[in-house]
A = this chain, B = another copy of it.
Amino acid sequence: MRLPEGVEWALHCTWLLTLARDGDALPARRLAEFYGLPEAYLAKLLKALVRAGVLSATSGPRGGFRLARPPEAITVAQVVEAVEGQSPLFHCMEIRQRGPVPLTGAACRKPCGIAKVMHRAERAWRKELAATTVADLVETSGIGAVTRVSTWLATLPGAS
């Protein structure tokens, strides 16, 4: 099993938009160009981020995407959930209720031990993702990564 690659793209783009939040909005065309990604599919992901309230979109010339909230209020978990949907990694199929001797009734009110462990692990995973904000990502970015973005932003047509 593997997390969709789009999660990584969404995180990188959100990080980039944080660095550029004082300037104009960046269209999907530019973001895809910067990271060498397929434009149309990246637009699909950014759309999901807009629906989740992480980004805001502007149509028309000089339009594009920008952060909908300050980066301190955007966690990595929220970006992941925006792309992935909020479906849990583990969904118990209740196979204990199947077969010739099904276990049903009051015995199944509580999840089984396997589901408990999987859910506990998933909570630990999400907790770590929620503990880091996009602002934290920017702060811990290497100086090389930041200057790389600044240099590229300066080459854009609408650079101030």
Contact A137 B113 (CB under 8 A): yes
When all copies of this chain in the complex are counted, the total is 2
Distance, CA A126 to CA B118, complexed state (A): 10
For the side of the interface on A, what is the size category? 35 or more
Within 8 A of B (CB), among A58-117: 76, 84, 87-93, 95-96, 98-101, 103, 107, 110, 112-114, 116-117
- Chain B residues with CB under 8 Å of A88's CB are 2
Q: Which residue of B lies closest to A87 (CB)?
A: B2
Distance, CA A87 to CA B35, complexed state (A): 24
Distance, CA A129 to CA B113, complexed state (A): 12
Contact A128 B121 (CB under 8 A): yes
Contact of A145 among B2, B15, B99, B112 (CB under 8 A): B112
Contact B4 A92 (CB under 8 A): no
